[in-house]
Structure 1
Amino acid sequence: MDDQRLPEAERDRLIDLVARKVVERRLETPATFFLEMNRPLSFIAGQSLLVAMPFLAPILGLQFVEGLSRLLQDRANIDRLIERIETLSREGERWSTAP
């Protein structure tokens, strides 16, 4: 991985995918809390995924693990992920409370 930055479209796709999985499982609050709490360690988390890649790739897919690793290495992406989780959560609440 020479270039550590994800293309914008790939970044947005990964953020949306992860955020949707979090919201589907109704884990918005713990996920947001976890992301906020570990924001300073996001680069290390991204690097840790590379170390764990031989174990995670067969389960999650090589491209997903590589993309997630690159996503986590930029702290600004943590903010984008939190924002997307909150947006999807609000949209879900709006649909669930509609008459």
Structure 2
Amino acid sequence: MRDWDTDLEPGERDRIIERIADSVVRRGMQTPAILFLEMHKPLSYVASQGVVVLSPLVAPLVGLENLQIASKLMEDRENMELLIQRIEELAEERAAASGGS
């Protein structure tokens, strides 16, 4: 288990972003995901603190460590921008691989 005030290491952050972006693109949800992330990017820090506040209620469902990772990822707007960029890159790669449709 990690601590709430331990920052994500860049390598770990990149692996998490890659996993989320891949999951979004595999499901074909890149457009709604990008729209959602762009709209809520200014609130990402507030959302990260909301995760901390709601952790006693949500942790039994998703796991405390997952909540701590989500909180740390949302805490920095740059991470949200990295996630958006990676979703866009994977969507373009997928479109090119499938014939550009």
TM-score (norm 2): 0.84
Residue pair 1:14, 1:68 contacting (<8 A) in 2 also: no
Q: Please give the root-mean-square deviation of Cα atoms over the aligned residues, in Å.
A: 1.6
Q: How many residue pairs were aligned?
A: 97
Match of 1:36 among 31, 38, 49: 38
Q: Structure 1 47/94 Cα, relative in aligned 2: closer, same or farther at 3 Å?
A: same
Structure 2: runs of 5 or more not aligned: none
Q: Separation in 2 of the partners of 1:68 and 1:15?
A: 10
Structure 1: runs of 5 or more not aligned: none
1:2 Cα deviation after fit: 2.6
Q: Match for residue 73 of structure 2?
A: 71
Q: Separation in 2 of the partners of 1:52 and 1:17?
A: 24
1:49 Cα deviation after fit: 1.6
1:7 Cα deviation after fit: 0.6
Match of 1:90 among 86, 89, 92: 92
Match of 2:19 among 6, 11, 17: 17
**Percent identity of paired positions between Structure 1 and Structure 2:** 43
Q: Separation in 2 of the partners of 1:97 and 1:86?
A: 17
TM-score (norm 1): 0.86
